[in-house]
Amino acid sequence: MDCCICGPMAAIYRPPRNTICSPCYEGSKAIIAFLNDGEHAAGDGEGDRGLVNPRGLTKHTNVSTKGMREAWQQMQEMRDREEVANQRAGFLEQGFGAAWMEGAHTDIVVRPGSGPPIPAHKAILAARSEVFHHMLCSDECKAAPAGGCVSLPELAHDELSLFLAFLYTGTLDAAAAATTTSASERLLHALLVAADKYDVPFLGRACEARLAAAVDPRNALRTLEVADRVSSGGALKERAMCTVVEHAEQVVFSDEYHDFAVRNAGLCVEITRALLAKAAGAKMA
């Protein structure tokens, strides 16, 4: 069938030539349904404030259905809103990044487990982390003079520097630019644990995404171990566990597995159960 949307040449737009193939039809319906759902959800959160989008058009949340022309217009509006959001994020990142790089008007130092302390701003720490907020807003800290100190002994100097840089800029570019894969992995593990301990969920999600994308039989045990330590690592733990089970012979008979088993008896039980479940499923199939 010569589809009037994805066909090699435009069909004459008159019945019965304006035909549409099944993939284009299903895709169009899915796009319209997605946009309708998103508009209704936005309407529930906005109430009757009559928000205006970047093109100056007021959103109508009581429209039950749309055609492709209206769907395309809304997608353009979404692109405009995304551009405005990116500009706003860039503006904030640039300002906070400059404050971090220049170290201007710092009023506290953060001391790592090893290496020199790093100057920072109390307001940034308190705004980014509920744990820091409670630490710095206690009665003792309120009365303390500028130039106080907070210790994060579980982090090395380079790990602390990346942790603080993320609080200012919201990016992990420095961790991605690590000289070796093992160095990048170590930094991401440390940042993931710190994000969980100091309640910085955005950092935790960013670390989990990068670690999950890099899981392979060589690092699955290390990833599984660190994911088991954090409260938000369920998806990362599942990804690592699946990799261990899928490559069980390579992983379980490696030299690393012995030391892993000594430290993580509970995880070894979970691995054994997962392997038995896989074997039982294979027999039933």
Residue 38: name the closest of 28, 30, 49, 26 by CA. Answer: 30
pLDDT band at 266 (very low <50, low <70, confident <90, very high): very high
d(CA 174, CA 172): 6
pLDDT band at 17 (very low <50, low <70, confident <90, very high): low
Residue 223: name the closest of 176, 188, 272, 265 by CA. Answer: 188
Helices (H), the chain: 22-46, 68-102, 122-128, 130-136, 139-143, 157-169, 173-176, 181-197, 201-213, 220-229, 234-246, 248-252, 255-263, 265-284
How confident is the model at residue 62, as a pLDDT? 44
Q: What is the pLDDT of residues 161-177, one digit of tens each?
A: 999 999 988 888 765 55
How confident is the model at residue 78, as a pLDDT? 84
Q: Which of 103-117, 207-221, 239-253 has the lowest mean pLDDT?
A: 103-117
Strand order of the β-sheet with 118-120 is 118-120, 108-114, 148-156
How confident is the model at residue 276, as a pLDDT? 93
Backbone angles phi, psi at 155, to 5 degrees: -110, 135
Under a CB-based contact definition with an 8 Å cutoff, are residues 169 and 93 in contact?
yes
How confident is the model at residue 110, as a pLDDT? 93
Distance from CA of residue 277 to its chain's centroid? 31
Residue with the larger pLDDT of the pair 92 and 197? 197
Q: Is the pTM higher than 0.75?
A: no
Q: What is the pLDDT of residues 97-150, one digit of tens each?
A: 777 777 778 889 999 999 999 999 998 999 999 999 998 887 455 554 455 889
d(CA 193, CA 195): 5
- Neighbour-count burial of 221, counting CB atoms closer than 10 A to its CB (0-12 exposed, 13-18 middle, 19+ buried): buried
